[in-house]
Structure 1
Amino acid sequence: MDKQNSKLRWVIFVSVLFTYLLMSSQRTAPGLITDQLMIDFSVTASTIGLVTSIQFFVYTGLQIPLGILADRYGPNFFLIIGAMLTGVGTIIYSLGTDEFVLFFARILTGIGDATIWVNMVLILSLWFNEKEFTRLIGFAGMTGSLGFLLATVPFSVLIVLLDWRGAFLSAGVLLCLCSIFLYIVLVKKTKQSVFLKNKRKHEKTTALLRRILSSRQAWALFFCHFGIVGGYIGFIGSWAVPYMMDVYGMTRLDASQIIMVSLIGALIGAPLIGWISSYLETIKRPYIVFHVTVLLCWSVFLLFKEHPPIYLLVILFFVIGFGFGSNSLTFAVVRQSFPISESGIVTGFANTGGFLSAVLLPSIFGYLLDHFQSSPGIISHGYYYGFLTPVIFSMFGLIGVIFIKEKYHYTERNTK
């Protein structure tokens, strides 16, 4: 089958992106019910932070191994099984009876979620030519932001209508159906094996890892992604809604509307920042600008002692979301700097940086809330100290992007 001229590729494109939409929504959806979980399961903020972090911890730990496996055996199997595991994990989460069940559910969800980005990138590279791929990868980045947007007001409304258990159960069932549909379009319709083993001779895994881990460019990408991704996803997915409810006295729906403003910023930022970078014919300079902007925005929360005026709060969330949209530039640098034959593992390594910070932030933030609460059960004054976390993370990101070495004039990479 001539994949890059087949009409089926658009069916695959839509089905893969729809699955990504649902999976990315389940990264941050639990943040809508943080306070409810604390009441229902009689647990502390630190415990909820750990429950939130465990998914990102698993996701982070699997990025490099899955990058290696996807390069060698193709993306079909990992994407299909990943969607199913995310669905099953979400269903178990909706049926949880104690915090241990929640931990197990989020571990399953994390395993499934870990498959999506690297394998989606590889699937698009197989089914679309280079020109189409460059354009469509921007839409893929937008889809992740749309997933986060789905986990604001729309999912809040679903929680109101069905209770939080019914809402997560519905999402889990839909993800399982997506897994079945992916099997049909990626395997049955194409008459291909679930595993697409690459016959190219591979460098030994240990040697490849050693070379990547000794690369200054790879570490610069790791840290710039660490700073721009984790502060945003980790905060939005855990403490953003409780913060606005505790400090501003908002309802859950009002708080999720402000989160939606932030996600709209990310949705606009992803393609626009990519266009700016392309127009200026540089990746590093705009990336530095947006890293600095995000750092300054997080610092404003400290300047106003955790309580900026509402109008400024809305602006800050929008700008932070817009800056988060620049994270796709990380993978533009990967494509520019490394051979295509290594794109899976380097993409996984850079992505590890982003989600390592998403692992750390909810737990650190929750610990600071517990430690600096003004009185037992009242955590609002701890948010000031909590905001130190994304500020410090953003500093690491700025250092990383400064150390990126950009190739302004480059030729086609060796793809042997």
Structure 2
Amino acid sequence: MTNVLGGRRAYAVWLAALSVYILAVFHRTSLGVAGLLAADRFHISGTQLATFTVLQLLVYAALQVPVGVLLDRFGSKRLILTGLALMTGGQLLFAVVGTFELGVLARVLVGAGDAMIFVSVIRVVTLWFGVRQSPMITQVTGQLGQVGAIAASFPLAAALHGVGWTPTFLAAALMGVVLAVVVVVVMRDAPGEEHPQLRLRAVGRSLRSTWDAPGTRLGLWSHFTSQFGMTVFTLLWGFPFLVRGQGLSEATAGGLLVLMTATQILFGPLLGGVVARHPYQRSHLVLAVVGAIATVWAVVLLWPGPAPLPLLVVLVVVTALGGPASMVGFDLARSFNPRERIGSALGVVNVGGFVASLSAMALVGIVLDQVTPGGPTAYTLDGFRLAMAVQFPFWALGALQIWRYRRKAIGHLSEHHPEALQALRDGESALPGISR
């Protein structure tokens, strides 16, 4: 296979990396259907059970910038293999231990390994595909990752009830070993000559340059604003909101969550095509999606009594669009940074959505505890109205920052790289003098 941009070798390398990302999403979300079994196995309370997920995501978010710097230093292949080793070790530990403390350690290892995967895969896309292909491949990558979330729902639940806890998680860990072999055999960091690695003494200077690029912060705030609503809904509060707040059956609520995942997979490539054709309008597209999400949430929360099912369908479909919209942030980072800084730029962008998600998750829980102190069994629609309303300040802050940094990015290009600004308006996202 030849090593040309977008050729057969490019797709082979991308598919190897993508398979690891799907596994990472499976590991990240595997506690969802295993929560009750985990509470029994580890003899823990609901608060301790939530600690597994919160710590895992905290580790993921905290490692994004360091991982981005390491990515520029060592390349995607090494970081993907390291991430696979950590996730495999974490799931092996989770399969056999029975104490809360060791369970926490296992989820921390999973979070640390997971933190290395997505930005490494997006760097593969950036280096192996042309600028016209990258937005589409990036979207497809993000949405196909949801196959891991689907595998961590009904199939994982069936395995847990069929063969038990330890064999199920041991099998999940074994997949990491298999994919490590695939990565070693198939992957290369870049076509042709390997991309030069960033020297350690240049790390600080590179990170400052990455942060100073207005397009990096525009990407960060785009990710911050569009991703968190979907993440909060799917990972923690959507199911209780639909069942306790809206009065749906568990089966109907589960079906709506599956619909949300399907929407992401369907609309991601469509959005990627629009981004590829109209790069100058990327941040406008993000603002339009965020505006739609906030509007539908306002209608649902202000509806007198439980919202009708068709309106809830609209809610999950529109909220799901935040997933594909958040991927625009990575395309912005690619446009406004040279290839030797792309890892750190992707890491900075990825921080945004997870910081917003963790903050919003925590605030929703705090508000619910204040207005319904009786715990989950006492949750009410009015309590959820107040709690879910904490999302609106995040959307408002993020929209303001997107508008602000869009103006800064355009002003920077106009002053320092007018030819790049014209290229952007002409539909090119590889900007002369900036990205290459």
Fold shared per TM-score above 0.5 = yes
Residues of 2 paired with 1:12 and 1:111: CA distance? 23
Asked if structure 2 preserves the Cα contact closer than 8 Å seen for 1:89 and 1:106, the reply is yes
- Whole-angstrom CA distance in 1 between matches of 2:283 and 2:209: 23
Q: Residue 140 of structure 1 aligns with which residue? A: 141
1:271 match: 269
Cα 1:68–1:107 shift into 2, 3 Å: same
Which of 159, 174, 196 is matched with 1:198 structurally? 196
* 2:110 corresponding residue in structure 1: 109
Match of 1:409 among 410, 418, 422: 422
Residues 23 and 147 in structure 1, CA contact (< 8 A), matched pair in contact too: yes
Matches of 1:305 and 1:173 in 2, distance apart? 50
When structure 1 is superposed on structure 2, of 217-226 and 196-205 the one drifting more is: 196-205
SS in structure 1 of the partner of residue 147 of structure 2: helix
**Unmatched runs of 5 consecutive residues or more in structure 2:** 411-420, 424-430
Q: CA deviation at 1:82?
A: 0.6
Deviation, 1:9, is 4.0
Matches within 5 A, 1:115-130: 115-130=116-131
| Counterpart in the other structure of 2:230 | 232
Match of 1:210 in 2: 208
Q: Which moved more, 1:115-124 or 1:75-84?
A: 115-124
Q: Does the 8 Å CA contact 1:80/1:182 hold for their aligned counterparts?
A: yes
Give the corresponding residue for 1:296: 295
Q: Quick one: structure 1 residues 96 and 199, their matched pair in 2 at CA, closer, same or farther if it must change by over 3 Å?
A: closer
* Greater Cα shift, 76-85 or 225-234: 225-234
Q: Distance in 2 between matches of 1:279 and 1:414?
A: 19
Cα gap change, 1:278/1:4 in structure 2, threshold over 3 Å: closer, same or farther?
closer
SS of residue paired to 2:85: helix
Alignment CA distance shift 1:331-1:363 (3 Å): same
Letter in 2 for 1:409: Q
Which residue identity does 1:372 align to in structure 2? V
- Report the residue type matching 1:80 in the other structure: L
1:320–1:176 Cα change, 3 Å: same
Q: Is the Cα–Cα contact under 8 Å of residues 75 and 123 in structure 1 kept in the other structure?
A: yes
- Where in structure 1 are there 5+ consecutive unaligned residues? none
Deviation of the 1:119 alpha carbon: 1.3
Partner-residue secondary structure (3-state), 1:97: coil
Q: Give the 3 Å change call, closer, same or farther, for CA 197–220 of structure 1 in structure 2.
A: closer
Task: Name the counterpart of 1:85.
Answer: 86
- In structure 1, the residue matched to 2:19 is 18
- With over 3 angstroms needed to count, the CA separation of the structure-2 counterparts of 1:222 and 1:167, relative to structure 1, is same
The alpha-carbon deviation at position 220 of structure 1 amounts to 3.3
TM-score of the pair, normalised by structure 2: 0.82
- 1:139 partner letter: V
Q: Report percent identity of matched pairs.
A: 20
Secondary structure of residue in 2 paired with 1:105: helix
Alpha-carbon contact 1:235-1:361 (below 8 Å) kept: no
Specify the alignment match of 2:3 in structure 1: 3
- 1:317 and 1:141 map into 2 onto residues whose CA distance is 18
Q: Which has the higher contact order (CA 8 A, sep 6+)?
A: 1
- Bigger mean CA offset, 306-315 vs 227-236: 306-315
What CA distance in whole angstroms lies between the structure 1 residues aligned with 2:288 and 2:310? Answer: 23
When residues 253 and 415 of structure 1 are mapped into structure 2, their CA distance, relative to the original with a 3 A threshold, is same
CA distance in 2, matches of 1:55, 1:306: 36
Map 1:385-400 to 2 at 5 A.
385-400=386-401
Aligned-partner residue type, residue 330 of structure 2: F
Q: Which amino acid aligns with 1:412?
A: P
Aligned length: 410
Change (3 A) 1:201 1:98: closer
Aligned to 2:416: none
Q: Cα distance, 1:325 vs. partner?
A: 1.4
Whichever residue aligns with residue 225 of structure 1, its letter is H
RMSD: 3.2
Conservation of the 8 A alpha-carbon contact between 1:152 and 1:259: no
